[in-house]
Structure 1
Amino acid sequence: MRILLAVDGSPGSEAAVDEVCRRPWPPESEVRVVTVLSPIDYILMQEAAHSPVNFDDILEQQGMEAAKRLSEIVDDLAQRAPGLQVTPRLLEGLPKEAIVDEAEQWSADLIVIGSNGYGSIKRFVLGSVSLAVALYAPCSVEIVRHLPIQSRSDLSSLDSDSPWQ
């Protein structure tokens, strides 16, 4: 099985990594961990800068940080899920498109992606990467939601009469 794990450093993507580690996968399963460097970030930095800034240096720094994050996730997966074959891949472009394109080119069977849990206004303005991936992916998509600690404790305190148990 080929699993494309899309990460961005958010709590939602950390939950997606946890979910991949938690699952029993078929033997010989492969995980490709991807993160996307977006040109939108570059444009926003240019507009926000009040003084001259070398944006190439900033982009290079972002790329190094993303590569480091990918390496850490690969190491974490190797330790927590040793049966998986894991490879990192740093992509460039719009995250929505880059993830779907990579899944298509790599022939992924499943995309696992975290939800950032934006409210309706932020989702309208920023768009939802996980929703776009779910709508346009060439394979199944699992969207993993990060539950804050308080929400987890709320779930554990449900009555036995609750329909959620």
Structure 2
Amino acid sequence: MKTSPSLHVLWATDGSPASRMALELVQHFRMPAASTLRVLSVSEFGVPYPTGLAALELPEDRGEAVLESVKRGVVSSDWQAVHYELLRGRPAETILLAANRHHVDLVVVGAHGRSDIQQCQLGSVLRRIVLYASCPVLVVKQPVAALRHVVIGVDGSQEAEAAAEFLLRLSLPDSTRVTVASVIPPLPYGQAPMMEDHAARLQQIHGQVEEETRKSVTRVVEKIRAQACLADGTVVSGHPARELLKLIEAVQPDLVVVGSRGLTGDTRYLMGSVSDSVVLYAPCAVLVFRQQERQ
């Protein structure tokens, strides 16, 4: 197996059990040699809020206490280096700025239970990190005892294959099984009756799409198996987000990997994408992969 390049991981922690279980999941991976961890705690103490929102200010500055607690045995000794940083500011913006400034490869955050994700508004801390991070983001929702099963959603795009390559960079445990899943969306048949030749042509197109999708899945499966990992593939038809969530509910993986198109500006507010739906509704940890643009 070839050696993967080292990773620079940023773990954002507020000292809560949710943030600690996020780090525990990361430490299930056999990180490449020379990988480093940046532990970031963001304090809102003293940060001014608009008039009428003063009650949201923290009653005391817990940032130093959080980092001291982490230093007392939470972080694994497998990292080549661990950097501790305490910053003041609004959490989402501060975390995003730190991720960009330090050119991290992965941001890791914990969610306070499944309902914390589903009920959050667009402006929540977690949602903004997932939407605006320029690198992959790992959202952990519940404790993970072991990485036994990972599902990765692919759609035939180069980004989907890059997501699989990033997963392999994390060096999965030997016993982890990976399911490569792809969903063929329905063709736009419409409601009106169509000519027989038109219907036949659509069926032909559907067959071609299915063939290409299966080739794409097989390509990713073989790439994963080449790294001495267990892998299989599945292709289904239907609404992509809905079918992927049904698969997740059926096989109950420990982690799901989905790609994001790296939308910018106002387009990031468009909801209903596959990655957004999976982050909202999957009961397990979700790794949202986004291609990084290096200067």
Query: Separation in 1 of the partners of 2:190 and 2:258?
Result: 26
1:144 aligns with 2:289: yes
Contact 1:134 1:141 in 2 (8 A): yes
**Farther off after superposition, 112-121 or 86-95:** 112-121
- State the partner residue of 2:242: 97
Structure 1: unaligned runs, 5 residues or longer: 155-165
Give CA-to-partner distance per residue, 1:88-138, whole Å, 9 cap, x none.
0002111111111111101111001111123433762x7321011110002
Given residue 5 of structure 1, which amino acid in structure 2 is its aligned partner?
A: I
Instruction: Report deviation, 1:46.
Output: 9.6
Any runs of at least 4 consecutive aligned residues in structure 1 with deviations exceeding 4 A, and if so which? 44-47
Q: Which of 1 and 2 has higher RCO (CA within 8 Å, sep 6+)?
A: 1
Cα distance 1:46–1:75, how it changes in 2: closer, same or farther (>3 A)? farther
Cα RMSD for the two superposed structures: 2.4
Given residue 267 of structure 2, which amino acid in structure 1 is its aligned partner?
A: I
Within a 5 Å distance, the mapping from 1:1-165 to structure 2 comes to: 1-39=148-186, 42-43=187-188, 52=198, 54-79=201-226, 81-82=227-228, 84-119=229-264, 120-121=266-267, 124=270, 127-147=272-292, 151-152=293-294, 154=295
Given residue 215 of structure 2, which amino acid in structure 1 is its aligned partner?
A: K
Cα distance 1:118–1:46, how it changes in 2: closer, same or farther (>3 A)? farther
Contact 1:10 1:116 in 2 (8 A): no
Query: Separation in 1 of the partners of 2:162 and 2:211?
Result: 23
Hey, which of these two has a bigger chunk of helix by percent?
Answer: 1
Given residue 93 of structure 1, which amino acid in structure 2 is its aligned partner?
A: G
Question: Higher Cα Rg: structure 1 or 2?
Answer: 2
If the length of structure 1 is used for normalisation, what is the TM-score? Answer: 0.77
Query: Separation in 1 of the partners of 2:190 and 2:269?
Result: 21
Q: What SS does the aligned partner of 1:103 have?
A: helix
Contact 2:182 2:234 in 1 (8 A): yes
Query: Separation in 2 of the partners of 1:138 and 1:96?
Result: 14
- State the partner residue of 1:163: none
**Identical counterparts, % of pairs:** 29
Cα distance 1:52–1:27, how it changes in 2: closer, same or farther (>3 A)? closer
Contact 1:11 1:146 in 2 (8 A): no
Query: Separation in 1 of the partners of 2:190 and 2:163?
Result: 28
Contact 2:179 2:231 in 1 (8 A): yes
Given residue 73 of structure 1, which amino acid in structure 2 is its aligned partner?
A: V
Given residue 204 of structure 2, which amino acid in structure 1 is its aligned partner?
A: D
**Farther off after superposition, 57-66 or 70-79:** 70-79
Structure 2: unaligned runs, 5 residues or longer: 1-147
